Structure 1
Amino acid sequence: MRAVTISPQASGGKLAVSDVPAPRPGVGEVLIENVSAGVNRADLLQRAGKYPPPAGAPPWPGLEVAGSVRETGPGVSGVSVGDRVVALLEGGGYADLVVARAAQTLPAPDGVDLVDAAALPEAVCTAWTNLVDTARVRPGEWVLIHGGSGGVGTIAVQLAAALGAHVIATAGGPERAERVRALGADAVVDHRREDFVAAVRAATHGRGADVVLDVLGGRALPDNVRALAHHGRLVVIGLQQGRRGELDLSALMAKRATVTGTTLRSRTPQEKAQIVAAVREHVWPLIAAGRVRPVVHARLPLADAEAALATLERGEAFGKVLLVP
């Protein structure tokens, strides 16, 4: 089969389509014939040698796919050969075939093109577990979502709105801001021209955001704390502005606020299975009802993986970039 390999593997390698042995499903696993794979910023980090795949995962990138089940391994129930599914992976999605844990698959949602459905697993699972499990968002609360035009951001905006929250999002430029507003944001901050802390205070009449979902990290930490309301929850899920930032503990204590950092890829299979099950119960009906939908920037051939990652790196993508084998 074909897969997009990184050479040299250590760091900063080039991507190329290579012939590799086809995988076989083990206990509790399924073999999926891909029709598309989602491209994520984690793939950029993996190529740079800063985010190695977990033990046992293929060395090539790819955290989510959509396709049809070709084979099931021992002990699999609830998933059958021929089923159209999406899957959350530890890695290896940039390929013709991929092995996934059956507990980390979901039926392809009705009303969504199967190719576009690959834009859902990573983003939806990330948005759900951080907004609901970690931040405990409640109806009527104000949620600030950084990177509202990104792969996770476009889903998080829709999901937070569907959960009854008031959404403030950041985006770069007026055209992108309007598109994010159309996804359900109550207010959108053009981060190229506006101070998001001032915008949050204006939108909330000085109260601040109950929840901040942050993909920036590093340099944004002090301003994120300033943007929080009393008892606010800052959830850091990305490090686009670096790994280190200055935290004013006095400000955090005065607001009785919390800061939590999370990742999805490093969680145990049991944790991921629980997240996937919750997404199937709570988010899949929202997708079926049209209240949450995948946002796809571009579909590119597998051989154009370099161009796909470059699109993310330059910040050009609105929503997800997909690779189509």
Structure 2
Amino acid sequence: MSEDARIYLDHHATTPVDPRVVETMVPFWSEVPGNAASWHVFGREASEAVESAREAVGAVIGSEAKAILFTSGATESANLALQGVLSFYKEKGNHVVTTRTEHPAVFDCCRALEAGGAEVTVLDVDEFGRVAPEAVREALTDKTVLVSVIHANNEIGTLNDVPAIGQIAKEREVLFHVDAAQSLGKIPLDVADAGIDLLSLSAHKAYGPKGVGALYCRRRNPRVRLKPVLFGGGHERGFRSGTLNVPGIVGFGKACEITVAEREEEAIRVSGFRDLLLSEITSALDGVTRNGHPTETLPGNLNLSFAGVDGMEILQGLPEIALSLGSACTSA
């Protein structure tokens, strides 16, 4: 099979790295080899590059740079948020509210916390995959310390009403974590406007490199406190020990810079392709159902069901087209 015959449409699993991102990363594999924690000139250059990237990641979500903690990806970020909050605030309470459609990074972490004695309330969603903000309000108790909700569903693209949930959490003085791995680079989200206290991000869903992510952790009004889950050299203000992945972090920063400049135009472009593809498929075939919310959705998401057809048969019949039956993380 020639490479020209292949079509990549599995961008919710991972995106190709933007060539401009690769170009930015290259020097930090060889020409600037320093450890960002070292005091010599190479270390200082690496540290300056990391801090520049921290500014860029913060800017894309409306955050100050100091609130950004670099991690290995959104899975680690979500685990640090959930485990870190439950551990630090255990004297206040041990109740977490989440939803049935969370990514395994959140859902399985909640199950592990539950096995360790935490109380977890899992809320159902509507036919479009959205959780009702009022359902979140009704689930809160005086022992609730955290609400964790996905921003954009990684399979059907549905967007939750994060600002409404954030307002409810703020009124009840409950911390609010949002998994924004899938929405980064696709739609705008401002942590202050949405009342978000903790936000998990991943570079590789936004045309950045794999193996790097970030956790936004609010520093004031209120200042969010966490207990670390990794111990060692005290990197990232003591929240996440381990030598920083300088090339990856630099690439993440560049991907965020590109996002800020091109997101609006790109959303129009990919949503146009999505609508064209949907129109062509539904005009040619009967029994096609689009899953997810018709308007409150990611611009590039198209999740379809075909009556009487097994999804695996479709994948096997189109080996040169990269499609997915669901989340890559549920089939690992």
Instruction: Report the TM-score, using the length of structure 1 for normalisation.
Output: 0.37
The structure whose residues are more often strand, as a share, is: 1
Higher relative contact order (CA 8 A, sep 6+): 2
The structure whose residues are more often helix, as a share, is: 2
